[in-house]
Amino acid sequence: MITATATKIEAILYLKGKPLSLGEIAEYAACDRATVKEGIIELMDNYAHRDSALEVVETPDGYSLQLRSDFHDLVQTMIPVELGVGALRTLAAIALNSPILQSDLINLRGSGVYQHVPELVELGFIRKRRDSDSRSYSLQVTPKFHQYFQIEQLPQILSTSQKEEQLELELEGVGSGE
């Protein structure tokens, strides 16, 4: 059975949602650091011995209640990606012109592309490869883009400007902020 102090610490870690130092936890729990240390050890032991998706870990920033690393793939599929409007528009331009040279994309969208492309590559929405015919990179959307935004294929009957408008509206419905 878990002590009241450990339960209180668990609640504090859950509510704060970020790593906390022993001192911070002691302040919130209204007890001394030694009591907090005992409660943390008890919590860590308790989580280690139960079949739970959560764990209490010590990080460089303090102690944290977090999802076990086994579930990080689930996070990627369950939590929506936050993309700014500029990155969404860049992604829409890549999707509509895929594959497109980064140099052509810069001419189309401006220098903000230099910030958007690494973010979109890291999120797995686009692939960036050195183009064999030029000094630029070739950019194209990945299967993750199609899966995430649930866009199989853009209708070929639309004009380019209509496709841009349609895709931009669909993408903006998923992302938010600049």
pLDDT in tens, 106-163: 998 888 899 999 999 988 899 999 988 888 999 999 888 877 777 766 554 445 556 6
pLDDT band at 26 (very low <50, low <70, confident <90, very high): very high
Give the whole-number percent of the chain exceeding pLDDT 70: 80
Write the DSSP symbol of residue 80.
P
CA distance 50 to 129: 45
Q: List the beta strands (DSSP E) in the chain.
A: 54-59, 62-67, 100-101, 126-130, 137-141
Confirm if 175 and 82 have CB atoms less than 8 A apart: yes
What domains does the chain contain, in order, with CATH numbers? Answer: 4-72 (1.10.10.10), 85-158 (1.10.10.10)
State pTM to two decimals.
Answer: 0.48
